[in-house]
Structure 1
Amino acid sequence: SSITIDIGGMWLEDAANPPWQILDDRPAETTIGPYGYLLIWADDDIGHTPGLHAGFKLDKDGDQISLYDTDGTTLIDSIIFDDQDANISYGRYPDASDDWYNMPDPTPLLPNTVGMAATPYFSHPGGTFATNFSLGLATKSPPAQIYYTTNGDEPTTGSTLYTAPFTVNLTTWVRARAYEPGLVPSPIVSETYIKLDPDVQSFSSNLPIVLIDSFGANIDNADRSHHPISMVFIDTDEIIGR
């Protein structure tokens, strides 16, 4: 905004806690100059100094935060967000626009930097399987393109472009990354699907089972660099004991 605003006396609220009123007796800390910024820590640590600390803590697994005027009922702004990653901010880009992005370089009290493409997600969680299935990849940003690999390499724009679900019929390590024009590529995400041989599918044990797949590599006790593997731990059932 081009004007000076004192947000003292306004209210902040998340999805699970009572509204918290921004202190109205510290104008030096609650006044925002023209095109300026103000930082409030949503950490439920109101006694901490210096700085403004809200009386609630946001949930990194998804939450909502809303700003109300001093009357406590007039909504000024609100945002609902889903799972958040450590050291990655989520905000408007460019500032004051209606577009929200993940940003790999948080910039408190400064303009938001270029956003990051939304992280892809998988239609099936990793683990074991006995029957072939169709695997889909998706992202919450329609303009984004997803590239993936199944050989362990990091996905780049030179990798396979995802266009439709594909069949997983053997042990497969899928790594995916989203790219979107003008944005930083998303983090690389991966899932491993271990196919069980018929003689293993009916195996039963009263001890926990650990399945390890080296993707065809011969792993012995010789000195060598690290090699990626996939491991699945299957615990016994608490009721039947197997």
Structure 2
Amino acid sequence: MVKPSVVPTQIISSLVLSAVFFLVSHGSHAFPQTIVINEFLASNDSVNYDSFGNASDWLELYNFGTDTIDLAGMGLTDDSEDAFKWVCPSIRLAPGEYLIVWASDEDVTTLELHTNFKISAGGEFLGLFAANGTVIDTLTFGEQSTDVAFGRYPDGVDNWQFLPDPTPGAANKSGGQVENYEVNFSHPSNLYDAGFQLEISTIPEGGDVYFTTDGSEPNQYAKKYTGLLDLNWISVIRARVYSDNEARSELETRTYIIRDDPKLPVFSLVTDPDNLWDPNTGIYENYEKEGDDWERPARVRLIEDGESKFSAPAGIRIHGNSSRATDKKNFRVYFRSEYGERDLDYTLFPQQETDEFKRFILYAPSGDQATGSENWNMLHDVLSHAVFHEMGGLVSGWKPVALYLNTEYWGIYWLREFTNDDYVGCDLGYDEVDMSRSRRRW
């Protein structure tokens, strides 16, 4: 009898390891590496429209490989800590094929694809992950311009450009190598005892800076910076570099409180005047209107203890019930990814340790106004909260501030926590709280 040959265990182990390596390197998780985020549009005004008739944000996936890839289970996200914020359905992408995914916050996975998030025109993170959590493609980008895409050129390579002629579902067209700038100011946002001359410069040097002083966003038709600016009173400067009719820098906003010391922390709210006063679209003029359609973009900043504590893009709405009709209205401030960061990371209130906020209120207690009088004592509401807090009761945080609305002093307000499910759950230590039975209007 002929004995069967014996294969040494070292050879068997080597063969097994080789097979495992082959499966890992050439198996189902290798092919998705040929899928990339190829182009996206974060501020779509008129380039194209989804099936709902909206000019939604979108991103384009592209298969630069030689194999057809099934996207089933892949994660698309704008949150680096949540790889599967939106999960792709089973769609096969052939070699050289493009796929448009609308970033509309509609969450649709049939026929036309819509993610459950929007893309922030202020800049953020985007990521594509394999079904097993492996990173396929990620990028972090800065501020984007309206109707100007950002994409790879040529398709699939690691060379990103602004694309003035977006090409959803087709090969990208080069926008040329564009030099981008950083806008610098000689003075930071703060309180100043006397006027001064403000210098605006760019890095690298030579950028054409356009600026406004009324809170509106500058464009290429705004005033061009040509020399030192004499600032002698409350001033808001918004500046951006433009070249060939395209923005070449992020929008920068500075607030200077000159010869006006309110003896309180300063809260600066800067927005286009039309967002407030336009008879058809302004939220102050149309104070009775509510909901998402009546939220407007703004830049908010807190100046305290001689320095700017935070500055962030946000959305603002009018807040309240009957107080909406008063001259001194309440504001609600929202932080969302479509403006910039989805949270404000700052300890706002001395009564609490909470350092992450999705929203808060600028509150002018209408109930503290004396009947038939224009005088406000601003004490009753907050005093009752302070007493209850000292007794160990659960109250929302508060901080007195002097509000400046663009370049106008708007009076004393109270920064207040927004009392919703998240607030109660956080303070009481519960994961989930239902306030629907106690909520009137929020």
Whether the 8 Å contact between 2:88 and 2:109 is mirrored in structure 1 is: no
- Percent identity over the alignment is 22
What residue number does 1:137 align with?
A: 201
2:87 is matched with 21
Say yes or no: does 1:64 pair with 2:137.
no
CA separation of 1:148/1:128 partners in 2, compared to 1, >3 Å: closer, same or farther?
farther
Unaligned runs of 5+ in 1: 205-230
Which residue of 1 is the match for residue 207 of structure 2?
146
Deviation per CA, 1:78-120: give whole Å up to 9, x if none.
0112333332222223333323233333221122231555365
Structure possessing the higher relative contact order (Cα contacts under 8 Å, 6 or more residues apart):
1
Give the Cα separation in 2 of the matches to 1:190 and 1:12: 30
Which of the residues 110, 116, 128 maps onto 2:170? 110
* Structure 2 residue aligned with 1:44: 105
Distance, in Å, in 2 between the alignment partners of 1:64 and 1:148 is 27
Matches for 1:1-242 after TM superposition, within 5 Å: 1=64, 3-9=66-72, 10-15=74-79, 17=82, 19=84, 20-24=86-90, 26-27=91-92, 31-34=93-96, 36-47=97-108, 50-73=111-134, 75-113=135-173, 114=175, 117-118=179-180, 120-123=182-185, 130-138=194-202, 145-148=206-209, 167-169=228-230, 177-179=241-243, 186-187=246-247, 201=259, 232-238=407-413
- CA-CA distance at 1:63 after TM superposition: 2.2
Unaligned runs of 5+ in 2: 1-63, 212-218, 263-405, 415-442
Q: Secondary structure at the match of 2:98?
A: coil
> Per the alignment, do residues 4 and 237 of structure 1 end up closer, same or farther by CA in structure 2, a change over 3 Å counting?
same
Larger Rg: 2
- String of CA shifts for 1:117-174, please: whole Å, max 9, x gaps: 53653436899974324534335xx5x8412479xxx979xx989xxxx743357989
Contact kept in structure 1, 2:181 and 2:207, CA below 8 Å: no
Amino acid at match of 1:238: Y
Q: Counterparts of 2:99 and 2:165 in 1: how far apart (Å)? A: 18
Change in CA separation of 1:94 and 1:128 when aligned onto 2, cut-off 3 Å: farther
Closer/same/farther in 2, CA of residues 167 and 54 from structure 1, 3 Å limit = same
Shift of 1:3: 1.9
Kindly report structure 1 stretches of 4+ aligned residues shifted beyond 4 Å.
124-129, 170-176, 188-196
CA–CA distance in 2 between the matches of 1:38 and 1:117?
A: 29
The answer on whether the counterparts of 2:239 and 2:253 sit within 8 Å (CA) in structure 1 is: yes
Give the match's secondary structure for 1:38. Answer: strand
**RMSD of aligned C-alpha atoms?**
4.4
1:71 to 1:176, Cα distance in 2 relative to 1, 3 A: closer
* 1:23 shift after superposition: 0.9
Q: CA deviation at 1:17?
A: 4.3
Provide closer, same or farther for how the CA distance between residues 194 and 8 of structure 1 changes in structure 2, counting only shifts above 3 A. closer
Letter in 1 for 2:180: A
When normalised by structure 1's length, the TM-score is 0.56
* C-alpha distance in structure 2 between counterparts of 1:63 and 1:192, whole Å: 22
Q: Return closer, same or farther for 1:191/1:38 CA change in 2, 3 Å cut-off.
A: same
Secondary structure of 2:207's aligned partner: strand
8 Å Cα contact 2:145/2:247 also seen in 1 = no
* Aligned residues of 1:175 and 1:190 also touching (Cα < 8 A): yes
Give the equivalent residue in structure 2 for 1:211: none
Report the number of matched residues: 189
